[in-house]
Chain A
Amino acid sequence: MSSELDALYQEIILDHYKNPHHKGLRDPFEAEVHHVNPTCGDEITLRVHVEDGTVADVSYDAVGCSISQASTSVLTDLVIGKKVDEALSVHQTFLELMQSKGTIEPDEEVLEDAIAFAGVAKFPARVKCALLAWMAWKDATAQSLGTLPEPATSSQEA
């Protein structure tokens, strides 16, 4: 049974959980969003700073489980420094992985540390945890670009 758990709690996840990257809320930023997971109460406040079409910074203040905290940390590693388009495409790849119920082989080239979340896709109750920050980031990015965000329930329906 612990191998089942080990598939979920990869070492990378526990590392990011213990030492989250890019934590804290910083200036400057163009958009700030607050997302919650209504079933468990996990919350995140997330800011994005976009400069010349590049994700210059993503900063956050979040409370939640190891999966949600680690995925927030991994998200910031992946998107900061990328062109917004590129970052959105990573987002899409991650979303597909999480919605795959474990049927997709993750692409390490694109997802880097985020491949550790492949195991989470097999725990339906935990997929929302992994997606909380990603949905918040997408929402904030859309707001910062002045485009309409996805429907407001994105953090849940994903």
Chain B
Amino acid sequence: MLEGLLPDLEVVRKDFPILTRTTPGGGPLVYLDSANTSQKPQVVIDTMVDHLERHNANVARAMHMLGAEATEAFEGARDKVAAFIGAPERSEVIFTKNASEALNLVATTLGWAGEHQVGPGDVVVTTEMEHHSNIVPWQMLCQRTGAELRWFTFDEDGYLDLSQADELLTERTKVVTLTWVSNMLGTINPVAEITRRAHAVGAIVVVDASQAAPQLPIDLAAMAPEERPDALVFTGHKVVGPTGIGVLWGSRALLEALPPFLGGGEMIETVRMTGSTYAGIPAKFEAGTPPIVEAVGLGAAVEYLSALGMEHVHAHERAITGYALEGLAGVKGLRVLGPTDPAHRGGAVSFELAGVHPHDIMTVLDTRGVAVRAGHHCARPAHEKFGVQSSTRASSYLYTTPEEIDALVDALEYTRSYFRLDD
């Protein structure tokens, strides 16, 4: 037995009804695409169904019994999310549609008049290993404002080149944004260190925790203030929650300084035809009817993860990832793109197999019930760095077993023989 695996893995797997699905041929389904989206435990499904069956009403504005229940469930979800990431205050948790919207919220409002407004001559710093969702909104911000976008590059092992920090982080730098865990390389970035150095030059730090929140324990309140990012985003569907819900956590200071993003119901204090005043956070950033049942589902999801214990989930991911890296190292012609030390990476493992295109690998694996992702994983610049268009990515999660990794390795060996790579 691998050390670090979740103790009751078989029991945990029973929480996820989809894992009992089989392929058309009757074989087991091996889901190794959790960095793309995670599967959902029964408790999330049940919580959402129960909410729709018994407590459905609009929130905040409906004042009858059901309205009160729906509001309580929705705001309860905010409490659960706040606890999950150790948010210093519950009102710093803003519900969005997904991580992309949360990043767009910050990048867009930073371009508008306000204390932190980004303008010509300012610098926005990101990294070369970002998901497109954490590149494009900043490119758009820079295009609109005349600011300059610069980035940290990474080395051939997939680690950020921190020697560039002095050059990139100057008094011109207004915003630094980076992913905590790369969705392609798997690299875990030194968020605290970069945040400290960015804060030292007066920059705001925005962290994309879309891949970190599912795998790493996060405790914002416990971070030293100079090392704590100013904003952190993640997306519900990767933390065993539903789609349609994402989270922006921002420090009260930042969220109060930013102008509102979308206008509409609930984000106001008073509206007159001649002008309006805005609500305080979090309502200020939640115009219109929010994704209520999705938020409730997310609340159940993060509670489920917390009950397992994020340190245990992390240990499991590390054990499985280490096992996967060992197995993949034995496949001839296979090159892992990213760190090969499981201590410095998350569970998404992208690789190339000499002689077979990722699409073809994906199809062969799929016919054997092994679901992986092929493509650029929304990280085209990072692929360019390795001189490839695309890669194949296997990504595990808390329900992944060593046997499933064996099935992946077997399927890759089969792919090699199917395409007669040794002939």
- Residues of A participating in the B interface, judged by any CB pair closer than 8 Å: 1-2, 4-5, 8-9, 14, 39-43, 63-68, 123, 125-126, 129
Q: Does B390 contact A (CB under 8 A)?
A: yes
15 contacts between A and B (CB under 8 A): A1-B368, A2-B367, A2-B418, A4-B367, A5-B363, A5-B418, A40-B358, A40-B389, A41-B376, A41-B390, A42-B390, A64-B359, A64-B389, A66-B360, A125-B362
A4 surroundings in chain B (CB, below 8 A):
367
Given A5-B363, A40-B390: A64 and B25 within 8 A (CB)? Answer: no
Question: Which chain B residue has the least Cβ–Cβ distance from A120?
Answer: B363
Choice from B359, B367, B380, B383 contacting A65 with Cβ under 8 Å: B359
Q: Does B374 contact A (CB under 8 A)?
A: yes
Q: Bound complex: CA of A126 vs CA of B360, how far in Å? A: 9
Could you tell me if B357 and A64 are in contact, using CB atoms closer than 8 angstroms? Answer: yes
Could you tell me if B375 and A40 are in contact, using CB atoms closer than 8 angstroms? Answer: yes
Could you tell me if B376 and A126 are in contact, using CB atoms closer than 8 angstroms? Answer: no
Could you tell me if A65 and B364 are in contact, using CB atoms closer than 8 angstroms? Answer: no
Interface string of B354-396 (1 = CB under 8 A from A): 0001111011100110000011100010010000011000000
A11 → B minimal CB distance (Å): 12
Could you tell me if A65 and B358 are in contact, using CB atoms closer than 8 angstroms? Answer: yes
Choice from B25, B364, B367, B389 contacting A41 with Cβ under 8 Å: B389
Question: Which chain A residue has the least Cβ–Cβ distance from B359?
Answer: A65
Interface string of B402-423 (1 = CB under 8 A from A): 0000000000000000110000
A68 surroundings in chain B (CB, below 8 A):
359
Question: Which chain B residue has the least Cβ–Cβ distance from A64?
Answer: B357
Could you tell me if A65 and B418 are in contact, using CB atoms closer than 8 angstroms? Answer: no
B362 surroundings in chain A (CB, below 8 A):
125
Interface pairs A-B: 8 shortest CB-CB: A65-B359, A65-B357, A40-B375, A41-B389, A41-B376, A41-B390, A1-B367, A66-B360
B383 surroundings in chain A (CB, below 8 A):
41
B389 surroundings in chain A (CB, below 8 A):
40-43, 63-64
Choice from A8, A14, A66, A123 contacting B357 with Cβ under 8 Å: A66
Could you tell me if A40 and B374 are in contact, using CB atoms closer than 8 angstroms? Answer: yes
B184 → A minimal CB distance (Å): 12
B418 surroundings in chain A (CB, below 8 A):
2, 5, 9
A129 surroundings in chain B (CB, below 8 A):
359
Q: Bound complex: CA of A41 vs CA of B368, how far in Å? A: 24
Q: Bound complex: CA of A1 vs CA of B363, how far in Å? A: 11
Question: Which chain B residue has the least Cβ–Cβ distance from A69?
Answer: B357
Could you tell me if B380 and A8 are in contact, using CB atoms closer than 8 angstroms? Answer: no
Q: Bound complex: CA of A125 vs CA of B364, how far in Å? A: 13
Choice from A39, A41, A43, A65 contacting B360 with Cβ under 8 Å: A65
Question: Which chain B residue has the least Cβ–Cβ distance from A8?
Answer: B363
A71 → B minimal CB distance (Å): 12
Please give 13 more A-B residue pairs, beta carbons under 8 A apart, in addition to A43-B389, A64-B357. A1-B367, A1-B368, A40-B375, A41-B390, A42-B389, A42-B390, A64-B359, A65-B358, A65-B359, A66-B359, A67-B359, A68-B359, A125-B363
Most buried by A among B363, B380, B418: B363
A40 surroundings in chain B (CB, below 8 A):
358-359, 374-376, 389-390
Choice from B358, B363, B390 contacting A123 with Cβ under 8 Å: B363
Interface string of B12-47 (1 = CB under 8 A from A): 000000000000010000000000000000000000
A66 surroundings in chain B (CB, below 8 A):
357, 359-360
Question: Which chain A residue has the least Cβ–Cβ distance from B375?
Answer: A40
Question: Which chain A residue has the least Cβ–Cβ distance from B364?
Answer: A5
Task: Scan residues 163-188 of chain B and give those whose CB is less than 8 A from a CB of chain A.
Answer: none
Q: Bound complex: CA of A5 vs CA of B360, how far in Å? A: 10
Q: Bound complex: CA of A39 vs CA of B362, how far in Å? A: 13
B364 surroundings in chain A (CB, below 8 A):
5
A67 → B minimal CB distance (Å): 7
Given A5-B418, A42-B390: A126 and B359 within 8 A (CB)? Answer: yes
Q: Bound complex: CA of A129 vs CA of B389, how far in Å? A: 14
B242 → A minimal CB distance (Å): 23
B374 surroundings in chain A (CB, below 8 A):
40
B421 → A minimal CB distance (Å): 12
A126 surroundings in chain B (CB, below 8 A):
359, 363
A1 surroundings in chain B (CB, below 8 A):
25, 367-368
Q: Bound complex: CA of A66 vs CA of B255, how far in Å? A: 49
Q: Bound complex: CA of A123 vs CA of B366, how far in Å? A: 11
A43 surroundings in chain B (CB, below 8 A):
389
Q: Bound complex: CA of A123 vs CA of B380, how far in Å? A: 25
